[in-house]
Amino acid sequence: MNERAPTKKRDWSWRSRAARGLVYQAVALLLIASGVWFLAHNTQQNMQVRGIQSGFDFLGQAAGFDIGETMVPYDPSESYGKALWVGVLNTLRVAVIGIVLTTLLGVLVGVGRFSRNALVRGLCYGYVELFRNVPILLQLLMWYLFFVEVLPPPQEAWNAADLFFLSKGGFAFPLPVWATGHGAMLLGALAGIGVGWWWRRRAQQQFELTGQDQNRWAVPVAAFFVLALVGWAVGGAPTAWSLPEQQAFMVDGGASATPEFLAVLVGLVMYTAAFVAEVVRGGIQSVSRGQTEAASALGLSRAHQMRLVVLPQALRVIIPPLTNQYLNLTKNSSLAVAIGYPDVVSIANTTLNQSGRAVECIAIIMLVYLTTSLATSLLMNWYNKRVAIKER
């Protein structure tokens, strides 16, 4: 009969390193909390002495100013809180779309640095050196001037197939008229993503057991489109579209992106992708040459070597600095105030000027960027653990 090992009692004496560590941490937290309380209390007293109002009650007051670009319905008679929420959504729109586009462009340029074609290598090298050595603010101003000065006026907009229009008024494109079928289509697409994830896990397990690699993209892509199509059909198969039309003085209809949004998005993507490309290049170079030589001996093409051998091993080097670039892109979006894009910083500045609540508005800005940065870090740390190479 097996005897249970005696439980080890924790030593709470001062001689215990663990006990002393807990005491030091408690004292440090107490000192930090005391410092924060002192600063907050001192600030509040000074504001009261000078007759400056404080508190977040102003968020319920009517804003009284318009916002040129919104993702949700907004009226100037609505509250400051609603106006700040519109700014947060505008910031998130730039950050999310920018991260996706930056990843695609940065990976392509980083892999292109290893191309056997001298022209491709030279173009990728030139792109990196040009865009990472010019300050981001100057690039935003450059793109903004391009969109509002170089492009033709709306009545002479560049167009492609009479569906896409680009001019000083922005970029106009077709937009489906929302219906129930589109919601069903999104649900079907999500189900397709789940099926694709299951298939890729099954293919990986099969590869580890038998050594036979299956196509891991055909079934997930097919499941995504087929189930999305099924959802669209079940929801009534809506086909109505809002199409942009060239008018005498403007492009009307469809959806559009303003010059300010385009300038911010393109500027951030082009700038950050240059750094991402260097991160990818460094990660690829960290993989020993013997790995590619072994892959070549097995008869793998260069594309398969990169996809199956090099990049999976390079990810453990790429992801930590890549996370930093995602955070930089999100925080650099605050420079959009320089070209008039209504992000959270721009709207908070307007709110500050009208309400006089400087401390509160700055605290809101800090909270927004702190929350988005921590969420990005948590997601990337989770992904880093998922792709880490498991060693004994």
Residues making up the chain, counted from first to last: 392
**Partners of 164 in beta bridges:** 160
- Contact present, 330 and 264 (Cβ < 8 Å): no
- State the pLDDT confidence band at 275, using cuts at 50, 70 and 90: very high
Residue 197 structure tokens: 């994830």
The answer as to whether 202 is a domain residue is no
- State the pLDDT confidence band at 9, using cuts at 50, 70 and 90: low
Would you state the pLDDT for residue 173? 86
**Domain total for the chain?**
1
Q: How far apart are CA 34 and CA 88, in angstroms?
A: 31
| Most distant CA pair in the chain, distance | 93
Task: Provide the Cα torsion 302, 306, 308, 313; round to 10°.
Answer: 140
Q: How far apart are CA 112 and CA 277, in angstroms?
A: 9
Query: Residue 368: pLDDT above 80?
Result: yes
- State the pLDDT confidence band at 52, using cuts at 50, 70 and 90: low
pLDDT tens column, 94-151: 999 999 999 999 999 998 998 889 999 999 999 999 999 999 999 999 999 999 988 8
- Contact present, 174 and 297 (Cβ < 8 Å): no
Would you state the pLDDT for residue 392? 54
The answer as to whether 248 is a domain residue is yes
Average pLDDT of the residues in 353-368: 88
The answer as to whether 199 is a domain residue is no
The answer as to whether 62 is a domain residue is no
The answer as to whether 35 is a domain residue is no
For the entire predicted model, the pTM comes to 0.81
* DSSP line for 125-143: HHHHHHHHSS-HHHHHHHH
Domain with 345 in it: what CATH number?
A: 1.10.3720.10
The answer as to whether 292 is a domain residue is yes
Which domain covers residue 275, as residue numbers?
A: 80-177+240-386
The answer as to whether 183 is a domain residue is no
- Contact present, 128 and 108 (Cβ < 8 Å): no
Query: Residue 31: pLDDT above 90?
Result: yes
3-state SS string for 212-279: CCCCCCHHHHHHHHHHHHHHHHHCCCCCCEECCEECCCCEECCEEECHHHHHHHHHHHHHHHHHHHHH
Would you state the pLDDT for residue 1? 46
Q: How far apart are CA 260 and CA 342, in angstroms?
A: 9
The answer as to whether 19 is a domain residue is no
Q: How far apart are CA 132 and CA 272, in angstroms?
A: 8
